[in-house]
Amino acid sequence: MSYTKPESFITGEYYHIYNRGVEKRKIFDNESDYKRFRSSLRDFNSTDPAWKIEWAKEKGEITEGEALVEVIAYCFNSNHYHLLLKQVRNDGVSDFMRKIGTGHTMYFNKKYDRSGVLFQGKFKSVHVKNNNHLLYLSAYVNCNSEIHKIAKAEEYKWCSFGEYLSLDKILCNKEIILSQFRDTEEYKNFCKENALEIMERREFEKSSLE
């Protein structure tokens, strides 16, 4: 896919956000790293400054800031991540991703006794063009582990697909997506069909270059 970075983020609009480790290195080395990043999607989704959020976490308290974004879908692979977000406050995506990126880099560097940048530059983004694009990206993000042949999406712990197939709301706002399908089974089939199409297209493109 060819993406163009938007000049600014528009409140009320949806964005596909993604990034990977510098030199394609791992940004998640074990289960605790994945868990920490996932909890950050909830913890840092606040207008409160990062220091206040971290301070409140240490004391077991909840900050009173307002949400910056809605998380629609996510997938974390060992050396990169994908997020589907809706901006709900001005500068929400930028503020949210700054906290996420800085927080995970500081955590990772301290844990693994390293220094310097962790991610390959600033996060990349694409403005979702229309509803069909939104549905397609939800499938792409939810099934990203399967597209990369890491694991079946419904069995992969570090993506939101399992949340979409259950009735629980753990982290994602699923309504905008699931309201357009009869049930979760229809949505599952939609995602699987799109994932298969993406994999087949990639295989064709790869074979065409050989």
φ and ψ of 125, to 5 deg:
-150, 155
Q: Please give the pLDDT value at position 49.
A: 76
Q: Please give the pLDDT value at position 6.
A: 44
What single-letter DSSP state applies at residue 9? Answer: -
Residues of the chain falling short of pLDDT 50: 1-6
φ and ψ of 126, to 5 deg:
-140, 135
CATH assignment of 14-209, among 3.30.70.1290, 3.40.140.10, 3.30.470.30, 3.30.70.980: 3.30.70.1290
Q: Please give the pLDDT value at position 170.
A: 80
pLDDT digits (tens, 9 = 90+) for 149-183: 999 999 999 999 999 998 677 899 999 999 999 99
How would you list the strands of the sheet with 14-20, edge to edge? 69-77, 80-87, 14-20, 124-127
Q: Where are the domains of the chain?
A: 14-209
Q: Please give the pLDDT value at position 5.
A: 45
Q: Please give the pLDDT value at position 3.
A: 43
Which pTM value belongs to this model? 0.90
In the numeric block, which tokens belong to residue 99?
């906290």
Q: Please give the pLDDT value at position 137.
A: 97
